[in-house]
Structure 1
């Protein structure tokens, strides 16, 4: 065999080896990340109905020269893939380090200008899908601030919401949606292309920081579908799963709820635990009387048959699970049901509209009062003492919640007994029927729930302190006005947090 023939054969062999190597790399990139489930209610980026754009590997020859003729599209797919891998890694699903490094290496070849354009395309598309999945602007921004790896993640999500919102006609937005975005204090936006590039310049970010920021923003925007409580932009009518109760106009029209709100504001503003709890007791009395009045009207055929509604209540760290237990107890003592939304630091509460308004107001006020008591204990103790430890604070909140549940039950029993003596007990079957309806609603929509232990350890001194703080005043509504006295104590509240089952 001549030298020329040998050279040709060697070149041909090298060509085949290179082709096989490229094919293996392409197949590797086409392969879906495995080893874990997709976000509940969503799908991998790439499908029509997924929560993002097409992923690298979808479509013909995504990393070949033809695809590189569209650098923005190429960068868009790389960002989506990198975000998906980060999302899965954050949920304990590991992927090949080589695969991740390869994507990041490809992204390094993309200019900041192209990354910014691709990021706008990906984020705005994802926002529309998130709104259709039941999320509200304030909830998304909170998730970004909680789960983002950097402070700029929350700020860029705020910019995205503002630019998405300004592009929409007011006639396509529900009044509650408009009220929420106006209350969020979003940054100024004009909706014009280039807002990410302007954000990057304002923040003084370099190319590496821009890449990481866009990946992080897209990763925190992988969210499961939730109930639609406010119709999303462009939709018509409310969702069948229950209307939102967060309607400022309806709350302002109810003078009883305004009285309750005023009493709780007084409870939050005082530094004296006894006074705070007395105001809270009066508020709970009004809440219970309001529910009984509604039941009496229903018994007389005057309400037209209300249906259960839903609210979602945020539970911020630290001690989110202890706070969730307090919300659960308050909800049950107010004829509602609370269920922790796994992995989202939120709880959904199901009940009748006026009760739901009351639950949110009462829980928020009690949380402020409990934190005030904890802060006072911390200020009076030297650094390093038990009052500043995690186990102490978690145990305090759990005990506080338990004792509050007992006191609320006493108030409910006293009010019910007084009304039954003067107006008869016709409201009792109505209240029981309403609670049965709520339980049926929960079973139908969310199935069986599971119980979770409260984390943070146990501290007996903190437990005693928590019960004392909740019991520092007798919760007689006569402590504020009137001569009522407490009725029999209710059953002890649960000390385990109800949450969604993994299959929900």
Structure 2
């Protein structure tokens, strides 16, 4: 039996039928034929390449594998993606390369015995084979000839903002956190105004970009609400894909940087505050941890959203920046419509823990929310 026919027989048995018996049969065929390993890996790289054609990106594939399978499969997927990238040789832009760099930092999956390895590979291939098409994110005007959006290196100012937020998260002194937050807000506003003024003086052909940001369980509804609030406050739009655990955020590059920065910061702060509040609740004899956390994060997202919206409305837009902001808002809306011609709304479910809601609201009031001011100048 040839190597190719051994893999074909294993695939016919295991990939197109979801039964455990067929999976065992396919794994047994592969385990018995060491010469099939190279062909098996090549077929896997083809499945990965097909996922790229259907609009997926490396981080998206790793995310869905982690949600659906085990850590062994996640590491196998990472190795497969890197092997496909070496074979492909294409440059798809800075964001894509950053996702590959994260995979290179991961530990490889332990091989184990041949049957267990073949079983895990076939389980992974089953999942890859069934990935549906996603709206591709490389359609924006200004995409590079290689097919990916070229991103400018992070500016020194964004690096300073990131460092200030990290310090604000780490300090145990409220006054210091507030001072660091104020400085971050000032730099964000300055960065935003500089970008807008540059666009007004030298209009670029580039349109809005789009990125997928992971919204991981548990309590992903509340996290998606938080991300939506952060996106809205930074001139972006977010669309949540609950099934695959991410939100697609559409906006111009500097705004997307701010969204990723602030969303991550707020999640870190929420987790820290929730852990402390939960410990106090348990010390008082309370044991309903899940309902407490769910209500905590829902309240946190709701209140932070209110704070972000209020801060964004404080500064009116005027002067030369008004037409720039208006045209950008239209462009973002049009890109969202092209990517997602049909969307639905959803409500937060299962929020009924009063103590959790109160603690989450309190944490939101204390959170360092380095919001960006609306593009413009104060009157």
TM-score range, shorter chain: 0.7 to 0.9
* Paired residues for 1:45-194 under 5 Å: 69-70=1-2, 72-79=4-11, 82-86=14-18, 100=19, 103-104=22-23, 106-107=25-26, 110-114=29-33, 116=37, 119-148=40-69, 150-169=70-89, 172-174=90-92, 176=94, 177-186=96-105
Instruction: Write the distance in 1 (CA, Å) between the matches of 2:367 and 2:244.
Output: 35
Instruction: Write the distance in 2 (CA, Å) between the matches of 1:203 and 1:109.
Output: 16
Deviation sequence 1:92-134 (CA, Å, 0-9, x none): xxxxxxxx46634743762514364553243122122123333
Secondary structure of the 1:184 match is helix
Instruction: Write the distance in 2 (CA, Å) between the matches of 1:274 and 1:462.
Output: 26
Contact 2:23 2:119 in 1 (8 A): no
Instruction: Write the distance in 1 (CA, Å) between the matches of 2:43 and 2:28.
Output: 19
Distance 1:122 1:476, change over 3 A: closer
Deviation sequence 1:27-82 (CA, Å, 0-9, x none): xxxxxxxxxxxxxxxxxxxxxxxxxxxxxxxxxxxxxxxxxx44642543543553
1:406 matches 2:325: no
Instruction: Write the distance in 1 (CA, Å) between the matches of 2:370 and 2:166.
Output: 19
1:338 matches 2:238: yes
Distance 1:306 1:128, change over 3 A: closer
Distance 1:365 1:286, change over 3 A: same
Q: 1:317 aligns with which of 197, 203, 217?
A: 217
1:225 matches 2:133: yes
Paired position in structure 1 for 2:326: 432
Larger radius of gyration: 1
Instruction: Write the distance in 2 (CA, Å) between the matches of 1:268 and 1:140.
Output: 30
Distance 1:251 1:398, change over 3 A: farther
Runs of at least 5 residues in structure 1 that lack an aligned partner in the other structure? 1-68, 87-99, 190-198, 478-486, 488-504
Q: Which moved more, 1:273-282 or 1:309-318?
A: 273-282
Secondary structure of the 1:340 match is strand
1:326 matches 2:326: no
Shift of 1:309: 0.6
Paired position in structure 1 for 2:294: 394
Shift of 1:213: 1.2
1:216 matches 2:110: no
Paired position in structure 2 for 1:47: none
Instruction: Write the distance in 2 (CA, Å) between the matches of 1:476 and 1:154.
Output: 34
Contact 1:298 1:305 in 2 (8 A): no
Shift of 1:343: 1.1
* Paired residues for 1:18-29 under 5 Å: none
What's the TM-score once normalised by structure 1's chain length? 0.63
What's the TM-score once normalised by structure 2's chain length? 0.82
Distance 1:81 1:284, change over 3 A: farther
Contact 2:75 2:107 in 1 (8 A): no
Shift of 1:180: 3.4
Q: 1:265 aligns with which of 146, 149, 166?
A: 166
Paired position in structure 1 for 2:156: 255
Distance 1:327 1:110, change over 3 A: same
1:351 matches 2:260: no
Instruction: Write the distance in 1 (CA, Å) between the matches of 2:173 and 2:64.
Output: 34
Contact 1:263 1:283 in 2 (8 A): yes
Shift of 1:334: 0.8
Distance 1:410 1:475, change over 3 A: farther
Instruction: Write the distance in 2 (CA, Å) between the matches of 1:109 and 1:475.
Output: 55
Shift of 1:338: 0.3
Deviation sequence 1:156-215 (CA, Å, 0-9, x none): 22232333344454xx334634443233235699xxxxxxxxx7xx543362x3443122
* Paired residues for 1:295-314 under 5 Å: 295-299=196-200, 301-304=201-204, 306-314=206-214
Distance 1:81 1:386, change over 3 A: farther
Instruction: Write the distance in 2 (CA, Å) between the matches of 1:426 and 1:332.
Output: 22
Shift of 1:320: 1.6
Distance 1:329 1:77, change over 3 A: farther
Contact 1:336 1:351 in 2 (8 A): yes
Shift of 1:377: 1.4
Q: 2:338 aligns with which of 444, 447, 451?
A: 444
Paired position in structure 2 for 1:66: none
Shift of 1:274: 6.2
Contact 1:378 1:387 in 2 (8 A): no
Contact 1:276 1:369 in 2 (8 A): no
Paired position in structure 2 for 1:205: 113
Q: How many positions carry a matched residue from both structures?
A: 365
